[in-house]
A = this chain, B = another copy of it.
Amino acid sequence: MTHVAFLGLGDIGALMARRVAAAGLDLAVWNRTPARAERFMAALPDRSRVRVAGGPADAVRGADVVISCVSTSSDVVDILGPEHGVAAALSKGTVWVDCTSGDPPTCRLLAAQLAAIGVSFVDAPVSGGTAGAEQGTLTVMCGGDAAVLERVRPVLATFGSKIVHCGPVGAGDAVKAVNNALLAAALWAAGEGLAALRKAGVAPDVALDVINASSGRSNATMNLIPQRVVTRAFPRTFRLALLDKDVAIAAAFAREQHVPSPMLQLAAEMMRLAHATLGDAADHVEAIKVIEQWSHVEIA
């Protein structure tokens, strides 16, 4: 019987943990703010195999699989800090699956630190949003030893339908970060182009109709911009602050790999200045509003 510890019950994490519980696995949950853990428990239909741990060490004690799902790799480092006693509570042979959208260098440090005490590490960030987490259809991008991944695959399968072994430790985070950087680049470039076209008298839906039948199409032009920008709906589904963080990870990763990457670096800067301009609450698609302000035009 697999015992799972789940650390971090944010918007996505709570839904993932709920699916782990629904699969009938033994589960100990912990969240820095205890109220979220209480709320998580209160919403469960069956609490018989689930407990709220008093701290991260209490959560991981006796666990076969630890899943962390926090904001940044630094938060995982903090959980493993000596003051929490997590290292001492971990059993040899445990697998630590980090579903945080983290950064590869810190992942490698975490993996080395855990390896020294006989714990394996897999970075496993997810994509698919709250809908995917709820329905168990997340994509899980995994970095680490392939054999270790096989051991935890049944646990990941409770919330993910596409579980991909990307490469060594850090590869999962790298793939997720690059994906998000490509989104940022395509979104921003499309915003620039559509703003210029709008000022020249070309309606965005006409331009998008052509582009989406042609070679310049992307997820940004096919989905995000028509559904969220042209309609002025701008729903808040994924925060710009998080995209900023992810694109910065991709940009630093490209540097670390010695790949000259002016486009990814510029995308990171645009997200950074948009985040600084629009604040922490803004959705990632709202970044386009910065281009609109600069250009004195609305893409609508």
Contact = CB atoms under 8 A, between A and B. Distances in A.
A175 B221 CA distance: 13
A264 to B, nearest CB: 5
A200 B170 contact: yes
Interface in A190-242: 190, 192-197, 199-203, 206-207, 209-211, 213-221
B195 A259 contact: yes
A255 B71 CA distance: 18
B139 A213 contact: yes
A282 interface: no
Contact of A210 (B179, B192, B201, B253): B179
A45 B139 CA distance: 54
B272 A164 contact: no
A3 interface: no
A220 B189 CA distance: 14
A104 B200 contact: yes
A110 interface: no
Interface stretch (A16-24, A58-66, A149-157, A291-299): A291-299
A53 interface: no
A263 interface: yes
Contacts of A14: none
Interface in A160-195: 162, 164-168, 170-171, 174-175, 178-183, 185-186, 188-190, 192-195
B104 A179 contact: no
A250 interface: yes
State the majority secondary structure of interface residues on A. Answer: helix
Contacts of A141: 210
A202 B166 contact: yes
Interface in A260-299: 260-270, 272-273, 276-277, 291, 293-297
A269 B276 contact: no
Contact of A264 (B165, B192, B250): B192
Contacts of A276: 258, 260, 293-296
A239 to B, nearest CB: 14
A151 B178 CA distance: 48
Given A104-B200, A189-B185, A139 B259 contact: no
Given A186-B216, A202-B167, A196 B260 contact: no
Contact of A214 (B104, B166, B179, B262): B179
A254 interface: yes
Contacts of A260: 192, 269, 272-273, 276, 291, 294-295
A257 B171 CA distance: 26
Given A164-B209, A167-B203, A259-B297, 9 more contacts: A165-B206, A168-B200, A178-B216, A181-B189, A182-B186, A182-B221, A252-B252, A258-B272, A260-B294
The 3 tightest CB contacts between A and B, nearest first, are: A182-B216, A218-B218, A260-B273
